[in-house]
Structure 1
Amino acid sequence: MPKNTEKSRPAYHQSYEIIRDMILQGDIPRGTKIVEEKLAAELGVSRTPIRESIRKLEQEGLIAGKMVINPSEKDLRNTFQVRMLLEGHAARSAATYLHESELQALLECVRIGRTGELEEIMKANEKFHEIIVQASNNPFMIDIIDRMQSIIYLFRRTVVYYNRPFLIDEHENIYEAIKARAGDQAEELMKQHLQADLDFCLHLIC
């Protein structure tokens, strides 16, 4: 995802996050028909940001035909299979291309993961993976991952909120492999890390 500040984010982004969270938390149940006018009134915004939010959620697979869907276990496994391949490759690329400042940013994410408050840890988790994905320098790969952001967010929230064991240890191990320029190891560790996320979340939500 692009490295934006709050001020530079698209105007619809807040609406998107609210609607996404309402879907993932079950406040908008699966099978519900999405009505732009109703959501705009509830959120106190115009229909334009609602329309843009719905378009993004359709790209991410949470809405289809103006109806809320609920990803099946197969959908989640398929999504993560793609994510393991892409982020594994990105971790290998990071071991070659990341500069010292980016390595320091990864290490800071690990530090916050061990010491931060819940929302800080969420953001550090997101930034850790974002830095590595950007290291691929492949806009097509980055776009594919961006289209999976709702599913990724669902898993990220679950592993952080439910304090998945060894989550930050795994981040630190990935960081150490990237710092050592050990591409094979970084790729394998990333794949193992994402598989552990998948297994943990499926146990809780399926």
Structure 2
Amino acid sequence: MSKQTTAFIQAYEYIRDKILNGELPSGTKLVEERLAQELGMSRTPIRESIRKLEQEGLIKQKKVINPTEADLRNIFQIRILLEGFASRCAASYMNEETLQRLEKCISIARSGSTEEIMKANKEFHDLIVQASNNPVMIDIIDRMQSIIYLFRKTVVLYKRPFLIDEHQDIYEAILAHDGDLAEKLMKQHLQADLDFCLHLLKQ
């Protein structure tokens, strides 16, 4: 790996993590010179990192995103469509080993720490998306992971009601090979996430 590529990855992860852990709150303007000084590198990898984070939806016009109602609706519309379809596919194609991992995610999310719940929540959704066996769909969701993380953090930290119970219902529909129900439940689950985030946004 070239020095330039290594610097880009380092800068990208540094800025992304600061946004995701709240050190760079919504609305913060990113100054290339300052970030380059902090990391001891040129402005080129910083600029490339900011461009990538803009593509991922975490930065808009060199400022940390402050999601509007329209941003929330747009992102969740994509997730509802894709993850709903992925749940239908999972009901047909998910193997026994993956079903066991899905069930374990629910178990961890009921009793784990906040960090463990976050990881289990992510894995639950990732396993279902991967079960679609559709590389284009998987790639689209993968490129949205950073912005999805922010919303996932919101529903976990603010303890959205019935979150894990809904995961249980989706799992049981997939286990029963009921594609119609699995798709319907996933769409309702993500709509409830959206409604919860919109409610917090308006407060």
Place the TM-score, normalised by the shorter chain, in its bin: 0.7 to 0.9
User: For residue 165 of structure 1, what is the aligned residue in structure 2?
Assistant: 161
User: For residue 3 of structure 2, what is the aligned residue in structure 1?
Assistant: none
Amino acid at match of 1:30: G
Amino acid at match of 1:115: S
User: For residue 15 of structure 1, what is the aligned residue in structure 2?
Assistant: 14
Instruction: Tell which structure's C-alpha radius of gyration is larger.
Output: 2
Aligned counterpart in structure 2 of residue 128 of structure 1, from 124, 129, 143: 124
Q: How does 1:1-206 map to 2 (within 5 A)?
A: 11-12=9-10, 14-21=13-20, 25=22, 27-30=24-27, 32=29, 34-42=30-38, 44=39, 46-47=41-42, 50-206=46-202
Taking a change above 3 Å as real, the CA distance of residues 194 and 35 of structure 1, as seen in their structure-2 partners, is same
RMSD: 2.2
Identify, as 1 or 2, the structure richer in helix.
2
Taking a change above 3 Å as real, the CA distance of residues 64 and 100 of structure 1, as seen in their structure-2 partners, is same
* CA distance in structure 1 between the partners assigned to 2:143 and 2:106 by the alignment: 25
What TM-score does the superposition give when structure 2 sets the normalisation length?
0.85
What TM-score does the superposition give when structure 1 sets the normalisation length?
0.84
Taking a change above 3 Å as real, the CA distance of residues 68 and 164 of structure 1, as seen in their structure-2 partners, is closer
* CA distance in structure 1 between the partners assigned to 2:162 and 2:36 by the alignment: 41
- What runs of 5+ residues in structure 2 fail to find an aligned partner? 1-7
Amino acid at match of 1:27: L
Identity of aligned residues (%): 64
* CA distance in structure 1 between the partners assigned to 2:40 and 2:110 by the alignment: 38
* CA distance in structure 2 between the partners assigned to 1:130 and 1:45 by the alignment: 35
SS of structure 2 residue aligned to 1:30? coil
